[in-house]
Amino acid sequence: MEVSTEIIKEADVLFISLITGMMLLLVYDQIRIFRRLIPHGTLWVGMEDMLFWIASALVLFAMLYRENSGYIRGFAIGGVLLGMLIYNVLLSRLVVKASVFVLKKILFLISRPFAWTARLFCKPIGFVRKTGKKVVRFMKKQLKKVWRTVKIGLCKR
């Protein structure tokens, strides 16, 4: 008993649809990781989601065009949805949590030298700022005295 080439082709399309669904959700998880590392408002979240879904539609169109000659078949769309569901149930939570944890640790380690350097410069900069304020105050007082003297001299004439 031999399986027809049509059925093999449809099984290939289904498999590629499953993989495409998983990849789309993996990309969305990258967006979710970015949002957890750098929180932003609803406007940016909405724009990111809109761009993601536009890109997803283009990817799905390209996949259907390449694999199924552009025919929209229910099993292909179902395969994408099933791939998304499988990835969401099995891997999504783990990928997001582990990635955020690792990236936060990496960012912490990278930022440490900058924090130490900033601490080294804070005291001298604070001293210069404090001294600068005192000098400005002193100069302001001196200029007021000079201005009063000039004003008095001009008024006497």
Q: Token digits for 146? A: 């000079």
Number of domains in the chain: 1
Structural domain includes residue 11:
yes
What's the number of CA atoms in the CB half-sphere (13 Å) around residue 83? 21
Structural domain includes residue 89:
yes
* Residue range of the domain that includes 18: 5-110
Whether pLDDT at 120 is above 80? no
Structural domain includes residue 97:
yes
Provide the whole-model pTM. Answer: 0.69
Structural domain includes residue 90:
yes
Q: Classify residue 27 by burial, with Cβ atoms within 10 Å: 0-12, 13-18, 19+.
A: middle
Structural domain includes residue 46:
yes
Structural domain includes residue 51:
yes
**Could you read off the pLDDT of 124-140 as tens digits, one per residue?**
777 778 888 888 899 99
Structural domain includes residue 77:
yes
Contacts of residue 98, defined as CB under 8 A and 6 or more positions apart, other chains included, come to none
**Could you read off the pLDDT of 7-59 as tens digits, one per residue?**
888 888 899 999 999 999 999 999 999 999 998 899 999 999 999 999 999 99
The distance in angstroms from the start CA to the end CA of the chain is 123
Structural domain includes residue 151:
no
